[in-house]
Amino acid sequence: EVVLTQSPATLSLSPGERATLSCRASQSISIFLAWYRQKPGQAPRLLISDASNRATGIPARFSGSGSGTDFTLTISSLEPEDFAIYYCQQRSTWPFLTFGGGTKVEIK
Amino acid sequence: QVTLRESGPALVKPTQTLTLTCTFSGFSLSTNGMCVSWIRQPPGKALEWLALIDWDDDKYYNTSLKTRLTISRDTSENQVVLTMTNMDPVDTATYFCARIDLHTVGIHYWGQGALVTVSS
């Protein structure tokens, strides 16, 4: 099973600041990685697919990078709606999916 | 427009069997590459993939829960059913169904989730 480790667990930032979130895989997963944002009481929303492709309707302030075992989600300038929990997810081991433990982006 | 909606009991007792139904529209589970998965999230915790059924009626399960899970589909009714046996309080979670496309890494379409509490 591929284990995804997200860091940090919590990121305390102010609106307008840049956020950098990490996701590390226990083995190479090529670019089979997605990122989600989840607000309280809602289902996750897809932000990034294939490690770096923004999903339809996702603003340009979100960008993804990486391949193999190390991946990064960057939010260039935090908006109020971006204070939420972010998850990475891999499907290298199709159809067995796994999710990371999440990073909470909170207001400083 | 793709939609998914979970339905089932909000409360189950320990040792009982949980049955959840995902009713979907806007796509056909018979189309090559289409799949439906169940994913759960305990309160305040991370997401956990449970099971997947694909366009060919092949079924796949989380290895740690495999003995307790059954996923099935009713293509004519556009429904996917998940049963989980021997429920325990640690199974208290929001259960999501989601459409998965074989050709896409990420999951675009999710249901709103159904909170299931396991308590006597």
Q: What is the tens place of the pLDDT at every residue in A46-78? A: 999 999 999 999 999 999 999 999 999 999 999
What is the rounded average pLDDT for all residues in chain A? Answer: 97
Beta-carbon contacts of A80 under 8 Å, excluding residues fewer than 6 positions away, are A15
**Cβ contacts (< 8 Å) between B54 and chain A: which residues?**
95
Provide the pLDDT for residue B77. 85
Cβ contact, residue pair B105, A49, below 8 Å: yes
CB of A32 less than 8 A from some CB of B: yes
Between the alpha carbon of residue B69 and those of residues B9, B63, B65, B82, the distances in Å are 17, 10, 6, 7
**Cβ contacts (< 8 Å) between A66 and chain B: which residues?**
none
Provide the pLDDT for residue A103. 98
Of all residues in chain A, the percent with pLDDT exceeding 70 is 100
Query: How near does any CA of chain A get to the CA of B31, in Å?
Result: 17
pLDDT confidence tier of residue B22, bands split at 50, 70 and 90: very high
CB of A89 less than 8 A from some CB of B: yes
* Among A44, A49, A99, beta carbon nearest to B49: A99
Strand-pair category, B11-12 with B114-118:
parallel
- Residue B46 · residue A97 · CB < 8 Å: no
Mean pLDDT to the nearest integer, B17-38: 96
Provide the pLDDT for residue A76. 98
